[in-house]
């Protein structure tokens, strides 16, 4: 029975399939590929079992065979036109499909009865300590570096299907050579580049900038390592691993903390977080690939009700967030992922409140130390970050909504309880995920009506020059030891054990106390740069010192603009460049001024032949200048974020 799918509902495709199909096209057809893909995207798609069918025209039928929703072989893409298999229709089809590349820490655990369980050491894990790159590795790294430079030089507007396919081809070669981390970074860039070109709602330019920066930093470190840096540890980290490895942990007593939905362009599900008696955080994931973006939010929300894949524990993820487990034969990865092998045994145990037991210790860490830990984790490879390293555990008092945030969007402000000190910074609370079908945004809208409410929260640090936190879960804070009233707390029902998973469960008006005080309008948080007494104002009896923020945007904007428009980004005239240089140097950012001048100079430095035509180059010097500016902007952003959280709003 045929099922007509929605527009743009295509199966997933392996990256190497895209590279092989597109590379088979002639140069003439490659020039027509982007236009052919745009036309094919307007045709209706029907699905019957594992077959996706598209009628290109009255005489041509395109069929994609995708078991489990993923095209895994070029032969699975068949076209009825006369030019097949080297036809533009097959290449256009794989260009429209979603790249099906499992993430490093969100793949579904294998079932216990498979040939190799997930918690067994993987034979294909790159574990050798080779102190130098082999010739094949170096060649693959150079190929990937040149492909990444080409993407940067082209920009989002010009990095079409052919440029993307070349990047995926280089990524496949890197994976075959054992460079798993650079290969995964390249696939991430290709996925975000597609989202940018298609105008996908989950596209963020900052994510694409970050992905390109990481990819170029990896390939640069592999192809041109600094003197004295060729040791086994750095190279092993740069190479990455093909699979996670799990170490035996013996017996574990786990206390559930919260569950969050996971929703990406390719995967949907839920992840539950737990803490053991030693205060270590662990995760249990229920995340699967999806091929339909329309049903993915429901898949993510419904995953919270699915059973834990850990032994025979009769618990759903949502139930585990309020309960506990006693596990025998436990295995755990270096990043805190719990294995689900056949030898694992788990039985239900009592949970613990956030205000007692090992969970309470998470909130005892000073706020500044938590922020430093989260920022340090961002510098590690994603697959090497300890579980929960980017999470903050805070006690806050809601101040109410501010008129708008720095980008014009509404925001909910809260005062963080400081340790030490009577009060911490004012922070902006953001939804854990922006998708409207998840419960995050609705819950924040309800919380905005309750100024003065005291909460104990778990959130993910959002790096900014203002304190920002993406809220994931909340509960009731502990009552103070002194007899003075400290303010109202949420009145959560007993079956919620004093906490709410904000992405999976909706707060009700009855969960808020009825005697909330009417608070004054909230003041927006002060940026980290607002520390020099150049201007003062008196608001709500609190003297606030403000100053214009440093002109970091002059460099950051150029870094982002380069990713959007490529090397052809307009170069400002001499007067504008001189004014930018003066502003940066006046703010004490002399290095930023030099990097901005260097990036502009490399963008304009194009060789020409005797006829005045631009001579193609490998864009290596241009990419190096951009990478230096991007890394400086990243480091400066981390410093501003640290300063923002350290100040008292």
Query: Is the pLDDT assigned to residue 229 strictly greater than 50?
Result: no
Least confident of 27-36, 67-76, 238-247: 238-247
Distance CA 598, CA 602 (A): 6
Using DSSP's 3-state secondary structure scheme, residue 171 falls into helix
Inform me whether the pLDDT recorded for 415 exceeds 70. Answer: yes
Checking if the pLDDT of 590 tops 60, the result is yes
Q: What pLDDT, on the 0 to 100 scale, is given for residue 1?
A: 44
Dihedral angle, C-alpha 201, 202, 208, 209, nearest 10 °: 90
Is 614 a residue whose pLDDT tops 80?
no
For residue 392, the SS3 value is strand
Q: Which of 441, 370, 436, 382 is nearest to 411 (CA)?
A: 441
Q: Which one-letter DSSP state was computed for residue 337? A: B
Per-residue pLDDT reduced to its tens digit, 101-143: 644 333 333 333 322 223 333 333 333 445 688 899 999 999 9
> pLDDT band for position 481 (50/70/90)?
low
Residues 6-14, mean pLDDT to the nearest whole number: 74
Q: How far apart are CA 51 and CA 62, in angstroms?
A: 10
Q: Is the pLDDT of residue 648 over 70?
A: no
Report helix, strand or coil for 255: strand
Q: What is the structure's pLDDT at 343?
A: 87
Specify the pairing of strand 3-4 against strand 542-546: unpaired
Instruction: Say if residue 290's pLDDT is above 90.
Output: no
The pLDDT value given to residue 404: 61
Average pLDDT over residues 603-612: 75
pLDDT in tens, 438-476: 999 999 999 999 999 999 999 999 988 889 999 999 999
- For the cut 90, the answer to whether the pLDDT of residue 317 exceeds it is yes
Q: What is the pLDDT of residue 606?
A: 73
Residue 220 has pLDDT above 80, yes or no: yes
Between residues 201 and 44, the one the model is more confident about: 44
- Determine the pLDDT at residue 38: 92
pLDDT in tens, 338-366: 988 888 899 999 988 999 889 999 999 99
Comparing CA positions, the residue from 370, 460, 451, 466 lying closest to residue 412 is 451
- Alpha-carbon distance of 232 to 234, in angstroms, equals 6
Which has the minimum average pLDDT: 277-286, 382-391, 392-401, 499-508?
A: 382-391
pTM of structure: 0.80
β-partners of residue 260 are: 271
Is the alpha carbon torsion for 360, 366, 367, 370 positive or negative?
A: negative
Mean pLDDT, all residues of the chain: 82
User: To which H or E segment does residue 620 belong?
Assistant: helix 620-646
Give the model confidence (pLDDT) of 499-541 as tens digits. Answer: 999 999 999 998 988 776 554 444 444 444 443 333 333 333 3
Compare 244 and 638 and report the one with higher pLDDT: 638
Torsion of CA 566, 567, 573, 576, to 10 degrees: 50
325-339 pLDDT tens trace: 999 999 998 888 998
The pLDDT score that the predictor gives to residue 164 is 95
Supply the pLDDT for residue 647: 73
Tokens of 238: 């740069």
Does the pLDDT of residue 148 top 90, yes or no? yes
Contacts of 347 (CB under 8 A, 6+ apart): 311, 312, 313, 325, 326
pLDDT of residue 532: 36
What is residue 19's predicted lDDT score, i.e. its pLDDT? 93
**CA gap 7, 4 in Å, rounded:** 9
- Residue 57, phi then psi, degrees to nearest 5: -155, -165
Q: What is the rounded CA–CA span in Å between residue 523 and residue 513?
A: 23
Greater model confidence, 5 or 517: 517
The conformation of residue 304, written as its DSSP 8-state character, comes to G
Please tell me the predicted confidence (pLDDT) of residue 562: 93
Q: Say if strands 98-99 and 246-263 run parallel, antiparallel, or are unpaired.
A: unpaired
Structure tokens at 210: 């970050």
First to last CA, the chain: 61
- Count Cα neighbours of 422 within 13 Å in the Cβ-side half-sphere: 1
Judge whether 179 and 239 are in contact, CB under 8 Å: yes
Strand partners, 473: 458, 501
pLDDT-derived band at 29, boundaries 50, 70, 90? very high
Residue with the bigger pLDDT between 202 and 467: it is 467
Is pLDDT of 414 > 50?
yes
The predicted model gives 92-97 an average pLDDT of 93
Q: Determine contact, residues 415/451, Cβ cutoff 8 Å.
A: no
**183 falls in which pLDDT band (50, 70, 90)?**
very high
Cβ 69 vs Cβ 57: under 8 Å: no
CB-based contact 63:50 (threshold 8 Å)? no
Q: Is 245 exposed, middle or buried (0-12, 13-18, 19+ CB in 10 A)?
A: middle
Q: Looking at residue 254, what is its pLDDT?
A: 93
* Rounded percentage of the chain residues whose pLDDT exceeds 70: 83
């Amino acid at each position: 029975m045929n099922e007509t799918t929605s527009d743009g509902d295509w199966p997933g495709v392996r990256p190497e399939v895209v590279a092989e199909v597109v590379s088979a096209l002639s140069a003439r057809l490659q020039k027509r590929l982007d236009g052919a893909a745009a036309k094919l995207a307007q045709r209706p798609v029907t699905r019957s079992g594992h077959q996706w069918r598209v009628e290109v025209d009255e005489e041509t039928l395109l069929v994609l065979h995708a078991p489990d929703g993923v095209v895994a072989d070029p032969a699975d893409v068949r076209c009825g036109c006369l030019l097949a298999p080297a036809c533009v229709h097959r290449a256009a089809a794989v260009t429209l499909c979603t790249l099906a590349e499992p993430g490093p820490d969100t793949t579904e655990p294998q079932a216990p009865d498979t040939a190799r369980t997930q918690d067994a050491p993987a034979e294909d894990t790159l574990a050798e300590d080779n102190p130098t790159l082999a010739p094949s590795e170096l060649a693959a790294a150079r190929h990937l570096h040149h492909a990444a430079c080409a993407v940067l030089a082209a920009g989002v507007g010009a990095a079409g299907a052919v440029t993307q396919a070349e990047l995926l081809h280089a990524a496949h070669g890197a994976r075959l050579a054992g460079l798993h981390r650079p290969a995964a970074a390249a696939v991430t860039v290709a996925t975000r580049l597609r989202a940018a070109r298609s105008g996908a709602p989950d596209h963020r330019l900052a994510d694409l900038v970050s992905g390109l920066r990481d990819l170029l930093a990896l390939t640069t470190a592999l192809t041109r390592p600094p003197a004295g840096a060729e040791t086994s540890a750095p190279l092993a980290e740069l190479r990455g691993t093909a699979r996670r490895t799990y170490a035996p942990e013996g017996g574990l007593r786990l206390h559930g903390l919260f569950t969050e939905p996971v929703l990406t362009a390719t995967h949907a599900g839920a992840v539950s977080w737990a803490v053991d008696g030693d205060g270590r955080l662990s995760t249990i994931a229920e995340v699967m690939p999806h091929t339909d973006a329309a049903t993915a939010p429901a898949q993510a929300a419904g995953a919270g009700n699915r059973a834990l894949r850990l032994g025979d524990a009769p618990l759903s993820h949502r139930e585990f967030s309020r309960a506990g487990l006693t596990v025998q034969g436990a295995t755990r990865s270096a990043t805190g992922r719990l294995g689900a092998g056949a030898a694992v045994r788990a039985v239900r145990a009592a949970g613990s409140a956030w205000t007692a037991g090992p969970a309470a210790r998470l909130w005892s860490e000073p706020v500044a130390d938590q922020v430093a830990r989260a920022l340090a984790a961002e510098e590690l490879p994603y697959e090497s970050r300890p579980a929960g390293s980017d999470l903050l555990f805070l006690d806050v008092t809601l101040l109410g909504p501010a008129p708008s945030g720095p980008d014009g969007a509404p925001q909910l402000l809260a005062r963080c309880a400081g340790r030490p000190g009577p009060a911490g910074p004012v922070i902006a609370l953001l939804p854990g995920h922006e998708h409207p079908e998840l419960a995050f945004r609705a819950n924040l809208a309800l919380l905005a009506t309750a100024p003065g409410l005291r909460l104990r929260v778990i959130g993910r640090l959002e790096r900014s020059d203002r304190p920002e936190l993406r809220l994931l879960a909340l509960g009731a804070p502990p009552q103070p030891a002194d007899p003075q009233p400290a303010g109202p707390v949420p009145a959560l029902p007993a079956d919620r054990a004093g906490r709410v998973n904000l992405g999976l469960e909706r707060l009700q008006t009855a969960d808020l106390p009825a005697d909330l005080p009417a608070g004054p309008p909230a003041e927006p948080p002060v940026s980290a740069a607002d520390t020099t007494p150049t201007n003062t104002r008196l608001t709500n009896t609190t003297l606030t010192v403000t100053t214009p923020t440093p002109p970091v945007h002059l460099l950051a904007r150029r870094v982002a603009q380069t990713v959007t428009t490529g090397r052809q980004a307009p170069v400002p005239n001499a007067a504008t460049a001189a004014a930018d240089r003066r502003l940066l140097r006046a703010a004490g950012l002399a290095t930023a001024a030099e990097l901005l001048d260097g990036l502009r100079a490399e963008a304009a430095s194009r060789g020409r032949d005797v006829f005045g035509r631009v001579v193609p180059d490998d864009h290596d010097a241009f990419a190096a200048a951009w990478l230096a500016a991007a890394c400086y902007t990243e480091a400066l952003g981390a410093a501003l974020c640290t300063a923002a959280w350290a100040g008292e709003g």
